[in-house]
Homo-oligomer: A and B are copies of this chain.
Amino acid sequence: MLTIHHLRKSQSERSVWLCEELEVPYELMCYDRDPVTLLAPPDYKKLHPMGAAPVITEGELTLAESGAVTEYIIEKHGQGRLTLGATHPDFAQYLYWFHFANGTLQPVMGRNMFLRRLNLPPDNATLVATLARLHLALDMVDRRLREVDFLAGPFSAADIMAFFSLTTMRYFFPVDLAPYGHIRAYLGRIGEREAYRRAMRKGDPDMALLLA
């Protein structure tokens, strides 16, 4: 049986949502962050040497890293659904946005979060450049979503990879999305998906969703 170890308010919401979209059966184990440090609790950290979320287990297998977990579930349990293959006209778009999620967007959110903790003067050059880079990334997403409803074109695993950084991650680094009307419309579109709503009800029932 596939078990999703879900650290609440974390990237593991992707794995719960993916299984709901694919209607793949799974056992859900939920873990709360430490209320003061916001870090994963010791039980969660024991699952993986880096204490990373998500973690899934299945028999002897323990697997972390969002991109890996997503591909694993899709290939092993989802018959390759929610991907676009090499013959699809949007194949390159699919690959780009899938990898952009954790290769660019989430790292730049994380880097801004870290810098903010240092209480630097607001004109610090590194701070200014890192925030500018985040807005460059958001602007790219917004321009893409002016053209299409979902990142790859059709709804796909690229959306499941990217959505966390635009929503729940804003609890860790608040970003005003007012200038990004197409992103906000996209958050609304995804927020209406039954599978997304089921996933969030199961995994993070007490968390208000940042869908605007």
Task: Please determine whether B86 and A140 come into contact, CB atoms closer than 8 angstroms.
Answer: no
User: Is residue A171 contacting chain B, with contact meaning CB distance below 8 A?
Assistant: no
What mask results when residues 57 to 78 of chain A are scored 1 for a CB within 8 Å of chain B, else 0? Answer: 0000101111110011001100
Question: How many copies of the shown chain assemble into the complex?
Answer: 2
Tell me how far the C-beta of A61 lies from the nearest C-beta in chain B, rounded to whole angstroms: 6
Task: Please determine whether B126 and A114 come into contact, CB atoms closer than 8 angstroms.
Answer: yes
Task: Please determine whether A136 and B67 come into contact, CB atoms closer than 8 angstroms.
Answer: no
Which of B63, B91, B118 interacts with A120 by CB under 8 Å?
B118
What mask results when residues 138 to 177 of chain A are scored 1 for a CB within 8 Å of chain B, else 0? Answer: 0110000000000000000000000000000000000000
User: Is residue A35 contacting chain B, with contact meaning CB distance below 8 A?
Assistant: no
* Residues of chain B lying within 8 A (CB to CB) of residue A193: none
* Residues of chain B lying within 8 A (CB to CB) of residue A100: 65, 68
* Residues of chain B lying within 8 A (CB to CB) of residue A124: 118
Q: A72-B95, A75-B86, A86-B75 are in contact. Are A65 and B126 (CB under 8 A)?
A: no
The stretch of A103-111, A195-203, A204-212 in contact with B is: A103-111
Q: A67-B103, A103-B67 are in contact. Are A72 and B92 (CB under 8 A)?
A: yes
User: Is residue A26 contacting chain B, with contact meaning CB distance below 8 A?
Assistant: no
Residues of A within 8 A of B (CB): 49-50, 52, 61, 63-68, 71-72, 75-76, 86, 91-92, 95-96, 98-100, 102-104, 106-107, 110-111, 114-115, 117-118, 120, 124, 126, 130, 133, 136-137, 139-140
